């Protein structure tokens, strides 16, 4: 089965913004071109839950008028963007790919949506995801799976599979995803695009429908590292509406891209590159080692480093994230918005609505999290998991005493076949084994495409950095991207 992937078809964020700002292209023509490409291939890919074509054209026309009037429209002038459908968009249905949010139109915009709009970007649609971002394949969607643009019988990864696929298919040069345990980096790897999970608190979560509140972060998918840097400059920074939002700033990431890696100390996480953690494919490991060599060739020093408690990341994550989710998803009770299935009393109505509205994976996680917090088990499960997070953070801190950035796989394998892992949830959970530790520690990491596997499908390399270490992470990513281009 072939694919329709063409990341380049969308053009780059910076090229479009420059062309639109300089008047070489109108925003309307940009949007029309992208909508045409969506029209051609969306049927095969199913990246979107909703394409907002009319609104996008209207916004584009307004941007063209403002440009004609000599206004500064912003650094993302005319850039079509796809938004994961778990971020609130005022007046536009926001579903989390769940039946329970049937018909809901938020009365407000997420901070990131606001910031993109005020930078001149144009939303063309809401992308598919695993229901409430719970999954690694975008198969747990109430609206059907998204297909990997590179090979349509493969998954795009998840949970931000729609956003990753939209960029890989050339529908938009930019999309936003959210990453709770790897939901940006793993699909970025499987779809051959750049995906960033920022430091916890670097991008506002206001308007992101919560899954695991202490783990969730929003980040971009783009075809280039520079485009992600540009996007981070727009969406990042303090937001007074998010009390966990960072008050510090790491400055512009666009400015650090050409710094190189000369003298940089790069550590390969030994647990994820040497067999301590099972199930990481040999072709994936080969690409990670190749990335280390490329960085070394560019002037970095490379070593191995152990993050021993990272092996407990998976069990800790599968206590903390479901526990928080069980509480975050309680509000879907049929009272104020979304689906209601009536019953003779309030409790019966709650139960009927939730039972009909949530899919099996969401129910599984709610059950798991409810149990992990319940009387008699909270200390052993949720409590221990929160302590394991501390251990993982301490291990990372030790590693960063000797290394500036770390390398690991983004995903244990390339894109797998649709349906291959749906029967056994535990097998599916293993997809996140390399990405989860960064969510547990709050540290930034990103996936950069670096070649293909034995099956010819994309492989991403994960770059990890200390808290607020986005500059060194991006500077490394830029070098890796160049090395990849040189090699191909």
Partner 1 sequence: MSKLSRDDVAHVARLAMLELDDAEIDAFTEQLGSVLATADDMAALDLDSVVPAHHPLGLVNVMRPDVVQPSLDRDEVLAQAPAAEDGRFCVPPALGEQ
Partner 2 sequence: MTDTATDRREPTLPDGWELVCGLEVHVELSTATKLFCGCPNEFGSEPNTNVCPTCLGLPGSLPVMNADAVTSAMRLGRAINCTVKPSVMARKNYFYPDMPKDFQTSQYDQPTNENGWLDLPDGTRIEVERAHIEEDTGKSTHVGGDGRITSAEYSLIDYNRAGVPLLEIVSQPDIRTAEEAKAYVAELRGIVLALDVSDARMEEGSMRVDANVSVRPIGSDELRTRCEIKNINSLSSLGRAIVHEANRHVDLWTTGERPMQETRHWDEEAGRTRSGRSKEDAEDYRYFPEPDLTPLIPTAADLEAVDVSIPELPSAVRSRLADAAGVAPTEVSVLVDRGQAGFALDTIDAGADPTRVLVHLTNNLADGTGEMDPAAFAALVSMEVGGELSSTQTKEVLADMVVTGRTPDAVASEKGFEAMDTGELDGILDGLIADHPSEWERFCSGDDGDAKKMSGFFTGQIMKATRGQADGKVVAQLLNTRKP
Q: What are the residue numbers of the active site? A: 84, 159, 183
What single DSSP character describes residue 442?
T
Selection from partner 2, partner 1, none that 69 binds (CB < 5 to 8 A by kind) is none
- Phi–psi pair at 156, nearest 5 degrees: -90, 0
Numbers of helices and strands, H then E, in the chain:
16, 11
Choose among partner 1, partner 2, none what residue 324 binds, the Cβ cut-off being 5 to 8 Å by kind. Answer: partner 2
One of 10, 319, 399, 478 touching partner 1 (CB under 8 A): 319
8 A C-beta contact, residue 409 and residue 285 = yes
Among positions 8, 36, 68, 335, the unique one binding partner 2 when judged by CB under 8 A:
335
Candidates 15, 102, 233, 242; binder of partner 2 (CB under 8 A) is: 242
Residues 67-106 that bind partner 1 (CB under 8 A): 103-105
Considering the rule CB under 8 A, would residue 438 count as an interface residue with partner 2?
no
**H helix runs in 81-213, sequence order:** 111-118, 161-168, 185-191
Tell me the β-bridge partners of 454. Answer: none
Are 173 and 16 a contacting pair, CB within 8 Å? yes
Give CA angle at 354 (350, 355), nearest 5°.
115
The answer to whether residue 343 forms part of the interface with partner 1 (CB under 8 A) is yes
Q: Which is nearer to partner 2, 76 or 96 (CB)?
A: 96
Applying the rule CB under 8 A, the residues between 168 and 187 that interact with partner 1 are: none
Among 30, 32, 34, residue whose Cα is nearest residue 21: 30
**Binding at 388: pick from partner 2, partner 1, none (beta carbon under 5-8 Å per type):** partner 1
Q: How far is the CB of 221 from partner 1 (least distance, A)?
A: 23
Q: How far apart are CA 201 and CA 182, in angstroms?
A: 16
403 binds, among partner 2, partner 1, none (CB under 5 to 8 A by kind): none
The CA distance from 306 to 295, in Å, is: 19
Q: CB–CB of 235/220 below 8 Å?
A: yes
Q: Is the dihedral of CA 418, 423, 429, 431 positive or negative?
A: negative
Q: Smallest distance from the beta carbon of 156 to partner 1, in angstroms?
A: 24
**β-sheet bridge partners, residue 265:** 301
- Applying CB under 8 A, does 107 fall inside the site for partner 2? yes
- Min. distance of Cβ 473 from partner 2 in angstroms? 24
Tokens linked to 255: 């400015």
State yes or no: residue 211 binds partner 1 (CB under 8 A).
no
Q: Interaction with partner 2 in 371-390: which residues (CB under 8 A)?
A: 373-375, 378, 382
368: contact with partner 1 by CB under 8 A: yes
Asked whether position 336 contacts partner 1 by CB under 8 A, the answer is yes
Binding site for partner 2 (CB under 8 A): 87-88, 94, 96, 101, 104, 106-108, 110, 205-210, 213-214, 240-244, 323-324, 326-327, 330-333, 335-337, 346-347, 350, 370, 373-375, 378, 382
């Amino acid at each position: 089965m072939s694919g329709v992937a063409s990341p380049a078809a969308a053009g780059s964020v910076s090229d479009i913004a420059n062309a639109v700002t300089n008047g070489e292209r109108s925003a309307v023509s940009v949007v029309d071109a992208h909508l045409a490409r969506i029209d051609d291939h969306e049927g095969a890919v199913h990246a979107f839950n909703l394409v907002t074509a009319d609104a996008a054209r209207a916004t584009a026309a307004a941007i063209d008028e403002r440009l004609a009037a000599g206004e500064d429209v912003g650094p993302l002038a005319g850039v079509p963007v796809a938004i994961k459908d778990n971020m609130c968009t005022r007046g536009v249905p926001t579903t989390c790919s769940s039946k329970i949010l049937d018909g809901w139109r938020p009365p407000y915009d997420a901070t990131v949506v606001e910031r993109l709009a005020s930078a001149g970007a144009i939303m063309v649609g809401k992308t598919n995801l695993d229901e409430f971002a719970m999954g690694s394949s975008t198969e747990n969607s109430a609206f059907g799976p998204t297909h990997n643009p590179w090979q349509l019988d493969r998954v795009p990864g998840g949970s931000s599979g729609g956003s990753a696929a939209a960029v890989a298919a050339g529908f938009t040069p930019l999309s936003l995803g959210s990453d709770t345990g790897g939901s940006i980096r793993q699909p970025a790897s499987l779809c051959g695009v750049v995906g960033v999970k920022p430091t916890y608190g670097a991008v506002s979560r206001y308007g992101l429908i919560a899954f695991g509140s202490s783990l969730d972060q929003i980040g971009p998918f783009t075809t280039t590292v520079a485009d992600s840097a540009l996007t981070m400059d727009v969406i990042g920074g303090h937001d007074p509406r998010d009390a966990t939002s960072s008050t510090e700033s790491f400055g512009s990431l666009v400015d650090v891209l050409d710094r190189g890696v000369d003298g940089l100390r790069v550590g390969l996480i030994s647990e994820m590159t040497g067999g301590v953690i099972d199930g990481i494919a040999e072709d994936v490991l080969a690409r990670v080692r190749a990335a280390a060599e490329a960085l070394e060739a560019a002037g970095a020093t490379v070593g191995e480093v152990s993050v021993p408690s990272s092996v407990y990341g998976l069990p800790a994550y599968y206590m903390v994230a479901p526990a928080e989710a069980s509480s975050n998803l309680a509000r879907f009770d049929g009272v104020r918005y979304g689906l209601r299935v009536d019953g003779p009393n309030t409790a019966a109505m709650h139960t009927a609505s939730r039972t009909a509205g949530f899919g099996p994976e969401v129910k599984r996680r709610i059950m798991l999290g409810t149990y992990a917090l319940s009387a008699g088990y909270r200390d052993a499960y949720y409590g221990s998991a929160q302590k394991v997070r501390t251990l993982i953070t301490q291990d990372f801190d030790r590693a960063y005493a000797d290394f500036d950035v770390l390398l690991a796989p983004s995903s244990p394998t390339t894109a797998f076949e649709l349906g291959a892992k749906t029967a056994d949830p535990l097998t599916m959970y293993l997809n996140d084994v390399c990405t989860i530790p960064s969510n547990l520690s709050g540290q930034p990491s990103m996936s950069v495409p670096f070649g293909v596997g034995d099956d010819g499908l994309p492989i991403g390399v994960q770059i990890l950095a200390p808290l607020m270490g986005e500059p060194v992470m991006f500077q490394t990513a830029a070098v890796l991207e160049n090395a990849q281009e040189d090699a191909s």
